[in-house]
Structure 1
Amino acid sequence: MWDILSVSHGHVRYGVMSRLPNVQFRITSKTTGESHVVCTDDNGMIDTSAGFNSHKNDTNGGTAESGIWFGEMDAIDDEKGALIYDFYYLNELRGESNEGLKLAKDIEFRVYRDKAVINLGTVTDDVVSIGTTAKDSDTENHISLADNKVTIIDTVKYKNFTPGKAYRLVGILMDKETGEPVMVGGKPVTSEKEFTVGDEDGTVDVTFTFDGSSLSGTDVVVFEKAYDIEADTQITSHEDINDEGQRVSIPKIGTKAAAADGKTNEIKPEKDQKIVDTVAYENLIAGEEYELTTWLTKDGKKIWGTEVTKKFTAKEAEGTVTAELTFDASMHGGEDITVFEEVSLL
């Protein structure tokens, strides 16, 4: 009334098959619910025969050297197979050896003949993976302004997740220059999203909202980890500080406004006065086209008709660009005029 189970276990990455050692599987009787854990050896093999591991050796201990036995413990016999007549389920358990892989689930087999070998062949795990693309919700690109409310949406593309299973994505913003978490108000900027998978491949958005007013000149990179909620274990991650798709840049700009002669910051209270605004920028994306918008204000209020736009390409992350504003200063004698600027990615 006993049979022998034989299984090999591996995964395919980049078209190459690799055996997986030290991976545990749970064998469960469909009829009685009795279950025991077996473990692959150094060659990624499981064999429940006594010739592989004596049934009496650390019986049902769950290691690669442990024997296994179903039924009455006082009936252990190395002359017999370990599994009594029944239907069984084989389920892979999460561990270090199969991190980042899709677990084999509910493989059903039947023991129905004495001393027969049930060969399930090679159980292959698909690679579970995530990739991310982070963009600012306002600009809809990889540039955020240093505002007191910045929202970055990280679109996570997942592959080989299990349909119907619940997962948790945990994200954190990293400073590309330092490699450390971005800190706002003394705390790291994090976000979580729980979701249930429909198709094994798909996307889900993780949203980060934070005060970015102190982050001018910073490149932030989104790191993501994915967890199996039921097993409470991490299954994969995407944490590449050099991944351009995960990066959002927060530019820093400084300006120097001067009269047309470039020698003074005073102009005459006359019509058609020119102001030259030199904008120094940091942390732009080299090679991308931007638009500089400048305008004049008095007491924080915009002086209508003074707005000027200029397109330019950032040859490097740091540089300067100038804009020339012409306005009627005849009505503003004795007043302080301020130049405001905004740089946006086209």
Structure 2
Amino acid sequence: GKEVTAETKPTTNAANGSITLDFTFDATGLEEKEVVVFEELLKDGKVVTTHADINDKGQTVKFVKPSVKTTATNKADGSKELDASKSGTIQNKVEYKDLIAEKEYVVKGKMMDKETNKPLLEEGKEVTVESKFTAKEKNSSITLDFTFNA
């Protein structure tokens, strides 16, 4: 609905330089959209110059919606079954898409009982795993290990 704008005044009298404009707004609903920033430079209320190129890749930002997909397997052999009479580890590969590279994230996993759709309890506690990581790339994966004692 509302036009998004930003405005600032130079803090120097130098003829050359740069200014940073920060646009702060609610990006809800903008997933997969691209926006382009246009600028006007004014002096005494009159436009001195503009930059308004809709095709300028340097001024274009795409809004993404991160997503995850997971695959759980028996860590020992990659199968989908574990021997209930032995200790074992379920390895959960979490593949993520459209994260911001070099930013820190936390991935949390919780084991659920498929029959009851409630958290699986071991000694009265939910079975959870948490891992902090820095996304090296926007699309990659991280592995969580859930270890059970016999």
Q: TM-score, normalised by structure 2?
A: 0.69
Q: Residues 198-217 of structure 1: matches in 2 within 5 Å?
A: 198-211=136-149, 213=150
Mapped contact 1:192–1:206 kept (Cα < 8 A) = yes
1:193 to 124, 131, 147: 131
Q: Report the counterpart of residue 45 of structure 1 in structure 2.
A: 3
State how far apart, in whole Å, the 2-side matches of 1:137 and 1:129 are. 24
Q: Displacement, 1:144?
A: 1.4
List aligned pairs for 1:227-246, cutoff 5 A.
Answer: none
- Write the distance in 2 (CA, Å) between the matches of 1:151 and 1:180: 20
Task: Give the letter for the 1:158 counterpart.
Answer: Y
Distance change >3 Å, CA 120–CA 160, structure 1 → 2: farther
CA–CA separation in structure 2 for the residues paired with 1:189 and 1:134: 14
Is the alpha carbon distance of 1:92 and 1:84 closer, same or farther for their aligned partners in structure 2, counting shifts above 3 Å? closer
1:85 Cα deviation after fit: 3.2
Change in 2 beyond 3 A, CA 1:189/1:178: same
Residue 159 of structure 1 and its aligned partner are, at CA, apart by 0.9
Max Rg structure: 1
Q: Which residue of 1 aligns with 2:28?
A: 97
Task: Tell me if structure 2 keeps the 8 A contact 1:157–1:202.
Answer: yes
Percent identity (aligned): 24
Shift of 1:90: 2.9
Matched, 1:88 2:20: yes
CA gap 1:205/1:133 in 2 versus in 1, 3 angstroms: same
Instruction: Measure, in 1, the Cα distance between the counterparts of 2:38 and 2:118.
Output: 49
138-147 or 112-121, which moves further after superposition? 112-121
- SS of match in other structure, 1:47: coil
Q: Conserved in 2, the CA contact under 8 Å of 1:85 and 1:113?
A: no
Q: 2:94 aligns to what?
A: 156
Alignment check: 8 A CA contact 1:90 1:108 kept? no
Deviation at 1:133, TM superposition (A): 0.6
The 8 Å contact of residues 4 and 23 in structure 2, kept in 1 or not, is answered as no
Alpha-carbon offset, residue 131 of structure 1: 0.6
Deviations for 1:77-117, whole angstroms, at most 9, x for unmatched residues?
Answer: xxxxx421361143667x7937xx69x9xx99876423447
Q: Does 1:137 align with 2:75?
A: yes
Identify if the C-alpha distance between structure 1 residues 199 and 44 changes in structure 2 by more than 3 Å, giving closer, same or farther.
farther
Over the aligned positions, Cα root-mean-square deviation in angstroms equals 3.4
Cα distance change, pair 109–208 in 1 and its aligned pair in 2 (3 A): farther
Q: Which has the higher contact order (CA 8 A, sep 6+)?
A: 2
Query: 1:125 and 1:134 mapped to 2: Cα distance?
Result: 30
Structure 1 pair 110/85, CA: closer, same or farther in 2 (3 Å)?
farther
Extract unaligned runs of 5+ from structure 2. Answer: 12-18, 55-59
In 2, the alpha carbon distance for the partners of 1:190 and 1:206 equals: 10
Which structure shows the higher strand fraction?
1
